[in-house]
Structures are given as structure tokens and as C-alpha cells.
Amino acid sequence: QEVTVEVLEHLEHLALVDFRDAEGVERLRKAIRFADLLQEVNTEGVEPMDSVLEDRCLYLREDDVTEGNCTKELLKNAREKVEEYFVAPPGNIPLLKLEEQETFLQGS
Amino acid sequence: QVSAALREGGVSPTELCQRCLSLIKSTKFLNAYITVAEETALKQAEESEKRYRSGQPLGVLDGIPVAVKDNFNTAGIETTCASNMLKGYISPYNATVVQKLLDQGAVLLGKTNLDEFAMGSGSTDGVFGPVRNPWSYSRQYKEKSVSKSHSEDEESNWVITGGSSGGSAAAVSSFTCFAALGSDTGGSTRNPAAHCGVVGLKPTYGLISRHGLIPLVNSMDVPGILTRCVDDAAVVLGLLAGHDPKDSTTIQDDFKPFELPNLPDVSKLSIGIPKEYHAPALSSEILALWSKAADLFKNAGAKVTEVSLPHTCYSIVCYHVLCTAEVASNMARFDGLEYGHRSDMNKSTESMYAATRREGFNDVVRGRILSGNYFLLKQNYENYFIKAQKVRRLIANDFLKVFRSGIDILLTPTTLSDPVPYREFIKEDNRTRSAQDDILTQAVNLAGLPAINVPAALSERGLPIGLQFIGRSFQEKQLLTVAKWFEKQVKFPIIQLEEVQRHVQDVFQHQKSASFS
């Protein structure tokens, strides 16, 4: 299976790590080749395992408020904020595709 | 032992704290600490001293200097995970395990160095630089190295600590603290413990709270305990284990802290030797040591049998897929908005996220995120992620079968060789290294079992080699009892470090291993 440009763009959209350069792609290819070794194992009739504690019930506590009111502390670590809001740049602008990005960088 | 000294007034908590702090300064070249919390540590020591003076110490750990790996949240102290992404991030809260240590009066000296986000097996890939193994500077190592010029060799011959909790292991090994917290996802506590000649305990998954431990792989991460002797590890375990309402993956069973018998008896035990752990790359030295250890148990009357864990060879691939998949998910929280690094790129939300993450994460982390996302794509989910989960069950079942057949404890090597020089280690990339080095420790994390590294002997080069014991789920008492017996048999030598001798010699003149219990 080749890692197509389409898949790469899609991955970047999900991962957002800006790793579409030659090195990133090479790493990915190696990782996939390595993972393909799993196909050697016969897993006929085997259930996937989510957790080693699957035989137990997860602990759920009562839906009571036990802490909170720490807005100030939480905001301390954010770089851009306005009153009690975290500020993000405009959304709904699609990530530049690889070729677009290159021409964008070349142009600037 | 040092705890007794504190109680009897032989040494005071502030004195102890100051000695450790100055030892940290003299061993700065080890790069074991990212942050040294000098002021708060001294304050904690003063509080402890007050308690001792009024005859009311909080417990064994009161006044004992400890260190914590820098991927645990510590209120008011920078927590970086050795990454640019969290440089300058001051945690607003303490991880549960940190809180428990502080509630017992422990003195938190600082945060230790690691591989970035605990990804790696050398503690060489963090943004604050690699950690140096204290044994590189020991008389034992220097005596064995064929050197031309003394100073030239020290600079180029230093060996790695192993990883990813290398800083914690180095801190304990160099006597700057009495216990340290690490984390173990694929061997990250046991590997550096072996390389640094200290005890490294990986508890059963679900025994100790992960609340506040910045997660790598939620289904495998556990906090790890690093100490200079098995008894100390048992004490720390006793204080940290137990249900935490803030971590729903901790089991709800009551945990009873235990003390280990002084003269453990192993004659009724059944020890298993998994043949697959005789990896092709295993050094002949370690193979011989492993064999000698098996004989030790045989001669003591234990039943020693060869067993098989047939899917061991797939554990690394399985881990590779599951780890990258969970990492892809766990790292998604780092987007620059709420905390951590934020890029100046402002054109759009997504381009800001991408730039932030490119600037904040190193290649290892970014590579894993990308791979993880690939394995989770709809078209790949079944063939990679689900497949790996099935293989995980096969690996966990291998262990179950062996334990059900009557084996109590498994004995294996912890690492493939003694610690290698840094310049050798960096010749291969992180993923290759991890794939090689994790082979002996990884499967334990997939199965969630408890395991411990006990330092066994010095290699021909004068460097530590450890052996690993793997136990049944939640049977830490049995595991540690066997480990303690073994520890007594092998009498692993104390590191002979100039700096240590200068600073703490008189405090420890009566004590062989300078343990605190």
C-alpha cells in the first residue's frame, strides 16, 4: 500500500503536526511496514482487548460537584485570552494543501 | 535507615535536604533534574523538622527527599515533559501520587529529566538534553575503561541511563534523593533502573492512580517507583497504592500495605524462565547472569522450569500500533489554546494548531501522532488497530496460561546489554532503539502485570546489569518478597562516586545501601 498524497493530506488534517515533508512521509512508511508484521499472527476467533481490567466495572462516582471555581488558575496558563475566554484565530478556514503551502511559502 | 536517623535526631530534615540539594548541584553534569525546587523543598524540610521535634512525624517518609519525573503534574512547579510544548507550564494541581507523597511529609526536591513525553528508551530525546548515567563517572567504570587521556574519555565515554525515566533513575543512583517516581509504559522505569543499578518497580495496572500523570498510552501507563533497595520500594508502594476516585481505572479493592519478611523463603516457589526472552541480541554476559540467577533459586529449593510465551516476538509490533494510536489521541489536547506553547501563526485555527504542534513537538512525537492517525483511519482500523488489540489478548493470555500452570514468578533479563555509550546509542534512531530495547520489558505492559528490576551485578565494563521478575496481577507482595531475597543474595555493589562520598559520606557511614526504611 502506497501512502498517497490524498491519504497524507487527510492524515495531516487529522493529526495537525505539519509533517508532510519527505522525512515525515518516510517515517510513516517505515511505521506502516513495521506494523504490517502483525498480519503474520493468526487471530482467528480472538476478541480484541481494550483493557487488562476488562473483567471489572469502571468506578463511577456520584454526579456531585466536588470542585471547581478555579477559572483564574486555569486561565493563567493560556497565552491569548479575553476576560474568561480562550482566544482562537478564525476557524472554518481549511488547512493549506501541500502544493498550496509550498507556493504560498515561495510567494512570501 | 535514614528514616530511623531522622527520628532519633541523628540528622535533621533540613540538613538532609541541604545535603541533597548541594549534591544535586555538584552532579549537575548528569543533567538528571530539569527543575530543582530549592525553596519549596527547604520549606517542606523545615515543616518536617518541626514535626520531628514535637515527636509527631507523619510516617516513614516524613522529611525524606524525593524526586518526581517531569511528566507528573506538580502544583506551582513547572511541568515540561521535556518538551517545548510545555516549557513554562506551571501545573495548577498535584498528581495524586505527588499529593500522596507530600501528605506523608516527603520533601520534593525537583522534577527529573526524561525523553520527550516519555517516548524513548535512552532519556536522550528531551529538549533539555540527555541524562548521563552516574556510573559513567564511577570508580568501577573508570577502572575498567582502557583510557588514553583521563578527561577526554570522560567527555566522550559517558553512558546512557536508559529511558524514559532516566532522570529519576540517575537521581536515585547518585544519592541525590531516596526515592523517585517514574512512569512505565513499555519499560520506562525498569530499563533505566537496570542501567543505573537501582530497583525499578512497575506496579500492576490499576493499582496506582494515574491522575495527574500526563498520559502516553492510557491502557498501559503506570507510575513507576525507583529506589535503592526493595524494602524502600515496598514502603513507597504502600503509600501510593489504592483506589483513587479521580482515576476510574484504579481498582476498587482494598489495598493493604505490607512489610517484607526479613528472611524470605523461596523454597516453595515455582520460577518460570520464558525461553523467548533469550533474544538473539542478548549479550552473553547477561545470559550467563540470568542462568546463574536461575541456579541460585534452584539451590535454594525453588522449582525452576523453562516456560514459553509464544507471542513475545509480536509484542513490539503490537505495542507500536496501540501506542501510536493512543498517542495520536492523547496528544490532541496540545493545541496552544488552553496551555502550553502557542505559535504566532494566526491565519486560521488549524494552521495555528499545526504550527504550534510542529514547533512544540519533536520529530519522534510528531511521527508517532501521524502513524497513530494512520492506523486509526476507517480503512485501516480493522487491519491495524483491532488486529493489534487481538494480538494484545494473545500476549496477555500467554502469561495467564503460564501462571495458571503453577508458575509463581517469571525471571528474565531486563535489558539486552549493559548501558552503552551515548555516542553509540545515537547512531540509531529513536524508533529502532525503542524497538530493540523494549523487547524484554514491553509485553508486561500489554498484559498489565507487575514487574521489578533488581540490580544483579556489574558487567565486565564496570556497569550495572539488572534482572527482571514478573509477577501475577496484584501480587506485589509475593513479587517484592522474591525480589528482596534475590537482592540479598547478589549484594550489588554501591556506586563509588567522588561527589557522593564528599557530600553524604558521614550521614551514611553506618549504612551500606543508604536506604530510608
pLDDT (tens digit, 9 = 90+) per residue, B368-389? 999 999 999 999 999 999 999 9
Q: Does pLDDT of A96 surpass 80?
A: no
- Joined together, the cell numbers standing for residue B404 give 495458571
Neighbours of B111 (CB within 10 A): 27
CATH number of B1-316+387-484: 3.90.1300.10
**H helices of B272-376, where?**
284-299, 315-330, 349-360, 363-376
Which amino acid belongs to residue B328? A
| Residue range B356-368, pLDDT digits in tens | 999 999 999 999 9
Q: Does pLDDT of B436 surpass 90?
A: no
Kindly determine whether residue A59 and residue B248, on different chains, have CB atoms separated by under 8 Å.
yes
Kindly determine whether residue B391 and residue A91, on different chains, have CB atoms separated by under 8 Å.
no
**Confidence (pLDDT) at A3:** 81
Nearest chain A residue to B446 by CA: give it.
Answer: A52
Query: Which B residues 451-490 touch A at CB under 8 Å?
Result: 473
| Residue range B214-235, pLDDT digits in tens | 999 999 999 999 999 999 999 9
The C-alpha atoms of residue B263 and residue B272 are separated, in whole angstroms, by 22
State mean pLDDT over B463-472: 96
**Confidence (pLDDT) at A102:** 59
The C-alpha atoms of residue B455 and residue B511 are separated, in whole angstroms, by 18
Q: Which of A100, A97, A15 is nearest to B353 (CA)?
A: A15
Beta bridge partners of B465: B457
Question: In this structure, what DSSP letter does residue B455 have?
Answer: E
Tell whether A24 lies on the interface with B, counting CB pairs under 8 A.
Answer: yes
Please report, for chain B, the start and end positions of each structural domain, with discontinuous segments joined by +. 1-316+387-484
| Residue range B50-79, pLDDT digits in tens | 999 998 889 889 999 999 999 999 999 999
Q: B483 in helix, strand or coil?
A: helix
The C-alpha atoms of residue B417 and residue B415 are separated, in whole angstroms, by 6
| Residue range B87-129, pLDDT digits in tens | 999 999 999 999 999 999 999 999 999 999 999 889 998 999 9
Question: In this structure, what DSSP letter does residue B160 have?
Answer: B
Average per-residue pLDDT in chain B? Answer: 91
Q: Which of B206, B342, B373 lies closest to A80 in CB terms?
A: B342
Which tops the pLDDT comparison, A100 or B210?
B210
Q: Which residues in chain B touch residue A69, judged by CB atoms under 8 angstroms apart? A: none
Which amino acid belongs to residue B479? L
Q: State the count of interchain CB pairs (< 8 A) between A and B.
A: 190
What is this model's ipTM? 0.90
Query: Which B residues 331-350 touch A at CB under 8 Å?
Result: 335-340, 342, 345-350
Dihedrals phi, psi of B504, to nearest 5 degrees: -125, 5
Please give, rounded to a whole number of angstroms, the shortest distance from the CA of A103 to a CA of chain B: 16
Kindly determine whether residue B435 and residue A34, on different chains, have CB atoms separated by under 8 Å.
yes
What does the H/E/C string look like for B71-96?
Answer: CECECCEECCCCCHHHCCCECCCCCH
- Identify from A18, A33, A60 which residue to disrupt to test chain B contact, counting B C-beta atoms within 10 A and taking the largest count: A18
Tell whether B351 lies on the interface with A, counting CB pairs under 8 A.
Answer: yes
**Confidence (pLDDT) at B153:** 57
Tell whether B431 lies on the interface with A, counting CB pairs under 8 A.
Answer: yes
Please give, rounded to a whole number of angstroms, the shortest distance from the CA of B500 to a CA of chain A: 38
| Residue range B167-209, pLDDT digits in tens | 999 999 999 999 999 999 999 999 999 999 999 999 999 999 9
Peptide linkage before B164 cis (omega within 30 of 0): yes
| Residue range B296-305, pLDDT digits in tens | 999 999 999 9
Query: Catalytic site residues of B?
Result: 69, 164, 188
Tell whether B432 lies on the interface with A, counting CB pairs under 8 A.
Answer: no
The C-alpha atoms of residue B465 and residue B236 are separated, in whole angstroms, by 23
Residue partners of B423: CB distance under 8 A and separation at least 6: B156
State mean pLDDT over B289-295: 96
The C-alpha atoms of residue A22 and residue B363 are separated, in whole angstroms, by 13
Kindly determine whether residue B366 and residue A24, on different chains, have CB atoms separated by under 8 Å.
yes
Are B290 and B467 in contact, with CB atoms under 8 Å apart? Answer: yes
Please give, rounded to a whole number of angstroms, the shortest distance from the CA of A89 to a CA of chain B: 5
Which pTM value belongs to this model? 0.93
